[in-house]
Structure 1
Amino acid sequence: MGPKPGQKTVLITGCTPGGIGHALCMEFHAKGVHVIATARNPAVLSEMAALGMTTFPLDVTDEESIKACHKAVSHLTGGKLDILVNNAGRTHTHPATDISLPDVRQTFETNVFGVMAMCAAFADLLIDSRGLIINIASLAAITPYVFGSVYCASKGAVTSYSRTLRLELKPFGVRVMVAMAGTVRSRIASHAHRTLPENSIYQRVRGMFERRLTFSQNNATVETGEFARKLVAKALAPEWPLILRAWFGRPDWFWAGGWATGVWFATWLGEWVLDFVMYRMIGMKQLEGVLREEERQKKLK
């Protein structure tokens, strides 16, 4: 079943149940928007299809899959799309000195190139409706999230890309919102975790690294539904002049989730604040102590 006449439409990537994408689908649906939910395995979307949402298979790292989805959406909506939410993402927790470049490339294919490919492919439908693009980024884009250098870099790329995309699409009436997500309950940390190589310089604090793997799900973590309610409310808010958007209308930057307010405030004080907090929060002072003890033992020999 397609959208009703005059009904707004939203296409969301990465909608597997249990994650942010799924929660956004449910919230947009509750607000009367026709939801087009996508996932690499469409079988996981059966619950949403039963509720009246449209479901399509989509792999944002596959050009042909994107083309097929664009064709299907264009046919469904009559060549228009009101909102595109680039939510599909991949976590990547590993020390910078232990990374595998093929693994890094796979993360960038999903987190960065997939976003770019979707925006390019669906720009025509968004222009026709003077629509809205929402790119799900992360506080990691501006936070020195220890052992998350690859993930931080991918989300940093999304924020920089989005800032320029915003200006390029402004003449066509298309808005770009960046969601700076803090710690939010999701499936992103539930996948198989990377392990430290035997020769890693961080083997001496292996427990600290292992705790970091699920940090986002255990520190001021906001429930997925709460995050979705706030984001959808902003996405559907009326337009306001630039200087008032952050308070009343659809903002260019949406901050929500655990730690979001604190990180936003810290950006005004200087990056040293975040460096100081994250270094201690993750436990790097502990590593300093271990290294000092190793040096002491060497001198005793």
Structure 2
Amino acid sequence: MPPQPGQKTALITGCTPGGIGHALALQFHKKGVHVVVTARRPEVLKEMADMGMTALPLDVTDAESIAACKEEVSALTGGKLDFLVNNAGLTHTVPATDIVLPDVRNTFETNVFAIMAMVQAFIPLLSASRGLIVNISSLAARTPYVFGSVYCATKAAVDAYSRTLRLELAPLNIRVMVAVTGTVRSNIASRVHRSLLPGSPYEVVRDVFEWRLTYSQNHGTMSTDEYARGVVDAAMRGEGWFGGLWGGSPKWYWGGGFAGMVWLASWFGEWLTDMVFLRKFRVLEMAKRIQEAKKTD
């Protein structure tokens, strides 16, 4: 079913049920927006298609797939798009000592380069409707998320890219909102987990590493629906007044578990965040156990 005349449209990447993209799609749909939901396997989108959404296959790491999606969306909407939500992403939890570079490149391909490719492709449609880009980022961009150095780096790249993108696209009447996401109930942490490499210096604290693998799903976790509701409400505030200086969608939306705490801590300096995360991620405990293990070697 195509959008009705005057109906706003939103394209969301990574809409597999159980994740943030799926929840965002449902919230936009409730707001009366025509939603284009995407996933690598379009068959998982059937329930949303039955609700009246448009379901399209999309691999955000494939240029041909992006081009085909753009062509279909343009035909569907008459060359306009009100919201582009870059949600598709991968987690990457493993010590920096144990990374495998091809695996790291794959995560950057999905979390960073795919966003750049999607933005570049859909700029004409967004400009035609004075649209909004929503990039889903993470508290990991701003915190020492232990064993998440690769993931932290990808999200920090998204934040830096988005800041500059916001200024560059202003002359094209396109706005940019970054969702700084805390712990949210999602299927992202339920996927295949990485392992410590043979001879890893963290072998003696493997239990701590394995505890960390699902940390985001077990500590201060906000429901996916609650998080999505906040993001969509913020995205739909519009352009605001006085060139966006008052009202309108925020440049940065903070949501999810621990988001308020990290936002507040950011005003006090890095020392406070480091002190909290040393304890939260059991770094002092690991240091003690690793040193004790060395003495017995």
Indicate the residue corresponding to 1:178 in structure 2: 178
Indicate the residue corresponding to 2:253 in structure 1: 254
Q: CA deviation at 1:297?
A: 4.1
Indicate the residue corresponding to 2:262 in structure 1: 263
Letter in 2 for 1:78: G
Indicate the residue corresponding to 2:75 in structure 1: 75
For 1:189, what is the secondary structure of its paired residue? helix
Q: CA deviation at 1:31?
A: 0.5
Q: CA deviation at 1:290?
A: 1.3
Distance in 2 of aligned mates of 1:288 and 1:243: 48
- Superposition misfits of 4+ residues, deviation over 6 angstroms: none
User: Do the aligned partners of residues 211 and 242 (structure 1) sit closer, same or farther apart at CA in structure 2, a change above 3 Å counting?
Assistant: farther
Q: CA deviation at 1:198?
A: 2.3
More divergent stretch after superposition (35-44 vs 194-203): 194-203
TM-score, structure 2 as length reference:
0.97
Q: CA deviation at 1:89?
A: 0.3
Q: CA deviation at 1:244?
A: 5.3
TM-score, structure 1 as length reference:
0.96
Letter in 2 for 1:55: A
User: Do the aligned partners of residues 242 and 147 (structure 1) sit closer, same or farther apart at CA in structure 2, a change above 3 Å counting?
Assistant: farther
Indicate the residue corresponding to 2:168 in structure 1: 168
Distance in 1 of aligned mates of 2:243 and 2:227: 24
Q: CA deviation at 1:272?
A: 1.1
Indicate the residue corresponding to 1:49 in structure 2: 49
Indicate the residue corresponding to 1:280 in structure 2: 279
For 1:4, what is the secondary structure of its paired residue? coil
Distance in 1 of aligned mates of 2:295 and 2:244: 57
For 1:280, what is the secondary structure of its paired residue? helix
1:211 matched to 2:208: no
1:196-246 Cα distance to aligned partner (Å, 9 max, x none) = 12210000100000000000001100000000111111111133347855x
Q: CA deviation at 1:172?
A: 1.2
1:91-110 paired onto structure 2 within 5 Å: 91-110=91-110
Distance in 1 of aligned mates of 2:106 and 2:167: 28
Distance in 2 of aligned mates of 1:4 and 1:280: 53
Indicate the residue corresponding to 2:35 in structure 1: 35
For 2:85, what is the secondary structure of its paired residue? strand
Indicate the residue corresponding to 2:126 in structure 1: 126
More divergent stretch after superposition (92-101 vs 231-240): 231-240
CA contact (8 A) 2:141 2:152 kept: yes
Distance in 2 of aligned mates of 1:13 and 1:210: 29
1:225-277 Cα distance to aligned partner (Å, 9 max, x none) = 000111111111133347855xx421000000000001001111001111111
1:63-85 Cα distance to aligned partner (Å, 9 max, x none) = 00000000000000000000000
CA contact (8 A) 2:186 2:224 kept: yes
User: Do the aligned partners of residues 124 and 216 (structure 1) sit closer, same or farther apart at CA in structure 2, a change above 3 Å counting?
Assistant: same
CA contact (8 A) 2:205 2:290 kept: no
More divergent stretch after superposition (232-241 vs 183-192): 232-241
Distance in 1 of aligned mates of 2:97 and 2:292: 22
Q: CA deviation at 1:183?
A: 0.2
Distance in 2 of aligned mates of 1:280 and 1:243: 40
1:158 matched to 2:158: yes
1:127-185 Cα distance to aligned partner (Å, 9 max, x none) = 01110000000000011000000000000000000000000001111000000000000
Distance in 2 of aligned mates of 1:127 and 1:107: 29
Distance in 2 of aligned mates of 1:168 and 1:112: 18
Indicate the residue corresponding to 1:87 in structure 2: 87
Percent of aligned pairs with the same amino acid? 62
Indicate the residue corresponding to 1:58 in structure 2: 58
User: Do the aligned partners of residues 295 and 104 (structure 1) sit closer, same or farther apart at CA in structure 2, a change above 3 Å counting?
Assistant: closer
Indicate the residue corresponding to 2:196 in structure 1: 196
Letter in 2 for 1:105: R
